[in-house]
Amino acid sequence: MKSQLQLLKHLTALTIFMLTPYYLMGQDSSQSPGESQVNTCLECHEVLEVMPEGYSADDVHQAAATSCVGCHGGDATNYDMDESMSPAAGYIGIPSRQDIPKLCGRCHSHIDYMRTFRPRIATDQVDQYNQSIHGKKLAEGDQNVAECVSCHTSHAIFPADDPRSTTYAINIPNTCRQCHGNAELMDQYGLGHDQYDKYATSVHGKALLERKDTGVATCNDCHGNHGATPPDAESISNICGSCHLNNLTYFKQSQMAEDFDIHSCQECHGNHDIQPPTDQMLNTDSDTAICLTCHSVGDAGAATAFAMYRDIETVDSLYTLAQTKLKASQTSGMNYAEIDYQLQQTKQNLIQMRTLIHTFDTEEVKAKGADGIKTAKEAIHLAEMEIQEFQTRRVGYGLSTLAIVILAIAVFLKIRQRDEMLKQQ
């Protein structure tokens, strides 16, 4: 009976706490963030060394002066443990996982309150979360899915641009891996557990995890911060296109854009294991051609692929030849700035051709190829002229050296003749 009464008291406290906007709860709302105030919760917990695990004194909520009571309720001005942590004072204890989104939402879904901290702060996290697979499953009572603190922690929360944050770009793959790399857990849902491992070896993963390049795609760029759904073909193409703008623009202009399911970015590049693309993906003479997973040699798709491949290879081989010639003219120590310029132009053309293949228009690729062939040939021509001129000069130099040597010998002989004449006198 007593414990039931206790439970009822707790539930009432929780309900009142959850329903009351933060700024209406006996808190001094005129207090500006960061202003020092008595916090008996923190003081006592520190003294008694019962601080929550992983607590950081720099936590955003600590900095914004919402601190312990903001989430746990209670009376932060009372040094008496029982009174301070009493349901009568609004204390809720440790929130259950199911209650956490609502708890965070008390403030984070409250536009007026959040805007007192930052005028443009987003307040849609809980709404988005509720629509995600994580959110839906949590509402159904699933205890394994991510709720707010699974990704943010509860006592070391930082803005996403702080390297200490679990939501800092470089740390995100690990934050998701806690659960999505857990085979036993993911087997229960019939989901793979290799997304992290694949991602880590991808172009994006290597750039992020090894070179610390935060401009590449990481888990939340494709899945949303709070959306956590597998994106469909059209939306994923638009997501890729937010960074790879030209590829998407060409793609959208092409005859393929009608049906995103057929030629969406991930059909050819994958999603978690995107590798650096090569020309061989278009070579329908080899078994590495990506197009041959659906097309067969002889059909219009394969023919398109091979035509684009041939044009790229032509420019690429001329480019390689021009590079060799440039090296040869370079060792001659002569002026090669103009050749280098033409070579750079060729390289640009090659890069553009590899992007232009996303038009699926052989004429576009061919036209760009024609420019590339022109500049490559110009570079080769200039380099050959340089080399030839060097050889001509070398012959000239050889001849003049010979003349000097002959002259020197003649002078030497002349002197010796004069010396001998003097000796005879």
Binding to ligand HEC, residues 361-420 (CB under 6 A) = none
- Pick from 13, 156, 209, 228 the residue near ligand HEC by CB under 6 A: 228
Q: Between 108 and 325, whose beta carbon lies closer to ligand HEC?
A: 108
Applying CB under 6 A, which of residues 17, 74, 359, 368 lies at the interface with ligand HEC? 74
And the tokens for 404? 């000097």
Among positions 13, 14, 103, 379, the unique one binding ligand HEC when judged by CB under 6 A: 103
Q: How far apart are CA 297 and CA 363, in angstroms?
A: 20
The terminus-to-terminus CA distance of the chain in angstroms comes to 147
122 or 406, CB closer to ligand HEC? 122
In terms of DSSP H, where are the helices of 73-200? 81-84, 100-108, 111-115, 125-131, 133-139, 148-152, 172-180, 183-187, 195-200
- Per CB under 6 A, the list member of 17, 87, 156, 358 interacting with ligand HEC is 358
Write out the binding residues for ligand HEC, residues 318-357 only, by CB under 6 A: 354-355, 357
Contact window for ligand HEC (CB under 6 A) among 198-206, 331-339, 389-397, 410-418 = 198-206
Determine, following the binding rule CB under 6 A, whether residue 312 of this chain makes contact with ligand HEC: yes
In 301-365, beta strands by DSSP E: none
How many angstroms separate the CA atoms of 205 and 217, rounded? 8
Selected range binding ligand HEC among 203-211, 369-377, 404-412, 417-425, rule: CB under 6 A: 203-211
Residues of span 32-51 touching ligand HEC by CB under 6 A: 40-42, 44-45, 48, 50
Q: For residue 204, state whether it binds ligand HEC (rule: CB under 6 A).
A: yes
Interface with ligand HEC (CB under 6 A), residue total 136
Q: How far is CA 252 from CA 217, 237, 257, 260, 269, in A?
A: 21, 10, 5, 9, 17
Is residue 331 packed enough to be buried (19+ CB in 10 Å), middle (13-18) or exposed (0-12)? Answer: exposed
Q: In the complex with ligand HEC, which residue's Cβ is closer, 226 or 347?
A: 226
Nearer to ligand HEC, 93 or 396 (CB): 93
Binding window for ligand HEC (CB under 6 A); candidates: 1-9, 156-164, 379-387, 396-404? 156-164
283 lies in the binding site for ligand HEC (CB under 6 A): no
Q: Is 6 in the site for ligand HEC (CB under 6 A)?
A: no
In the bound complex, what is the minimum distance in angstroms from residue 396's beta carbon to ligand HEC?
46
Q: Are 63 and 33 in contact (CB under 8 A)?
A: yes
The verdict on 271 binding ligand HEC (CB under 6 A) reads yes
The answer to whether the beta carbons of residues 126 and 61 sit under 8 Å apart is: no
Cβ atoms of 323 and 383 closer than 8 Å: no
| Contact call for residues 318 and 324 (beta carbons, < 8 A) | no
Hey, what amino acid is at 379?
A: A
